[in-house]
Each structure stands twice: as C-alpha cells, then as structure tokens.
C-alpha cells in the first residue's frame, strides 16, 4: 500500500509544505501492522485479504483520503467495523467532502450502513456529519430536502421501536445506550421536520412549552438535593 502525507486543507486552499513523523497503523482483515511514516510518500506491505483500513482501531491522530473505489468498499462493509473505526471513517469522509473530493451521496450511503451499528456514537455519527455540512452551506437546497427525507426513512422506524414519552423518569431504568439512542432519534426527527407537522415534533414542543411555563416547584428536575461533608475543617458542597 502506497501512502502519501499532506496537511489537511479545505477546498480551494493549497496545503503548506509540511512533513511530519506519523505513527501509522493499518488493518487488513485480522492483520494489523503499525509503521512510521516520515517521508512524503512511502510503500508498506500488509498481508491479508480485502481492503486496507487506514486507521486501525480509529486511534490514529490523522484523517485519510482514499480512491473512489476504496471509499466504496469501506462504506459497503462499514456496519461490521468496530466503533472506533466507524467513527474514523465518518470523520475522514466528512473532511474529504469539505476538501472538495468526497460526495454527499457517499455520506448518505454511509449513514444507511451505520444506522443500526451497535455503538450508538457510530450509528449517529453520519447524521451529525451531514447536519454540519448542511449548516456550513455545503449542501444545497435540493440536498437539504433529500437529507430530511433520508432522516425520516432511517429514523422513523426507530421511533416505533424505541417509543417516546417525554414525562420525567419514564425511561430511568433502561440501559444508558438505549436511552441515548432514543435521544438521537428524537433529535434527528425534530431536526428533519423543522416546522412541518409530525407526532414526535408536536409532542416534544408541547412538553418543552409546559416545562418552561409551569410553576418552578412542579417542573421535573427543578429540585436539586445537595449534600455537604466536612473534611479537615473545610466545608465542601
């Protein structure tokens, strides 16, 4: 595998002539190897079969750029990646799009692949990346409509699966990962619909309105119990 290092810049900005010494860890299948990249371009041998993942474990402090075919292969198998590698893949593709090389369609394909990933952070990462691209005006009007429709299709079934009851403490006993996923689902659907009518949107807005206008003493979560302990004569709260 041939690797070339370049400082990252966004589209239209020439990269400076900088050369680093970079610990580079690659994975192909079950084979993982780490190397030192200290030249502009170097070639490394990595046994095994299949495409190389350029940031094994997602622990390297670098982003990667790939050929269109390599991106396509990694996106196609993204649902089987460990959480750290899935996050690294999303982050590098986001950077590639901002640099004018990657495409919105590739991120949409990655979002479809990761939507049911076991790691909730990885599952939601493409949606967050797409949201940033929308806010940065990298996605045009047609793309924004497509993004809203994609969110509806991907997150709508989760709402039926996870349910949504905004009352305080309803989900207090469920696993944290499931609660976090529900928050992601509701956030995505509310963001997708904007001012358009939808069950979860209206329910959420009614809840937030009541929370803000109800008397303080009956607002959920408005009462905080504090304890004080004395240590060596110092009062700590």
Residues 6+ apart with CB under 8 A from 46: 1, 26, 28, 31, 33, 52
pLDDT at 41: 96
The phi, psi pair for 47, rounded to 5°, reads -70, 170
Query: For every one of its 237 residues, what pLDDT tens digit does the chain have, with 9 covering 90 and above?
Result: 899 999 998 888 888 889 999 999 999 999 999 999 999 999 999 998 889 999 999 999 999 999 999 999 999 999 999 999 999 999 999 999 999 999 999 999 999 999 999 999 999 999 999 999 999 998 888 888 899 999 999 998 998 898 888 888 888 899 988 888 988 998 888 875 544 445 555 555 555 554 455 555 444 443 333 333 333 333 333
3-state secondary structure of 2: strand
pLDDT at 13: 87
Tokens for 196, please give them. 């358009």
Angle, helices 120-135 vs 141-162, to 10°: value is 150
Tokens for 201, please give them. 């949107």
Residue 154 host element (H or E): helix 141-162
Residue at token pair 């047609």: 142
3-state secondary structure of 17: coil
Tokens for 139, please give them. 């996605």
pLDDT at 201: 55
Exposure string of 98-120, with b = 16+ CB inside 10 Å and e = fewer, is bbeebebebbbbbbbbbbebebb
3-state secondary structure of 89: helix
């Amino acid at each position: 595998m041939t690797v070339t290092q370049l400082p990252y810049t966004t589209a239209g900005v020439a990269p400076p002539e900088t050369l680093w010494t970079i610990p580079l860890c690659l994975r192909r299948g079950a084979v993982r190897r780490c190397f030192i990249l200290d030249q502009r371009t170097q070639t490394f041998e990595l046994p095994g079969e299949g495409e190389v993942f350029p940031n094994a474990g997602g622990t390297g402090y670098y982003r990667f750029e790939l050929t269109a075919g390599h991106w396509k292969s990694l996106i196609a198998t993204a649902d089987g990646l460990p959480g750290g590698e899935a996050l690294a893949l999303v982050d590098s593709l986001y950077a590639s799009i901002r640099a004018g090389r990657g495409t919105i369609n590739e991120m949409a394909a990655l979002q479809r692949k990761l939507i049911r990933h076991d790691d909730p952070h990885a599952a939601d990462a493409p949606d967050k990346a797409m949201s940033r691209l929308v806010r940065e005006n990298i996605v045009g009007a047609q793309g924004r409509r497509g993004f809203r429709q994609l969110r509806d299709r991907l997150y709508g079934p989760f709402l039926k699966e996870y349910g949504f009851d905004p009352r305080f403490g309803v989900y207090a006993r469920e696993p944290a990962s499931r609660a976090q996923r529900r928050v992601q689902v509701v956030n995505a659907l509310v963001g997708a619909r904007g001012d358009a009518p939808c069950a979860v949107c209206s329910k959420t807005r009614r809840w937030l309105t009541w929370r803000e206008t109800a008397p303080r003493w009956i607002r959920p979560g408005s009462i905080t119990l504090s304890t004080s302990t004395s240590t060596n004569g110092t009062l700590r709260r």
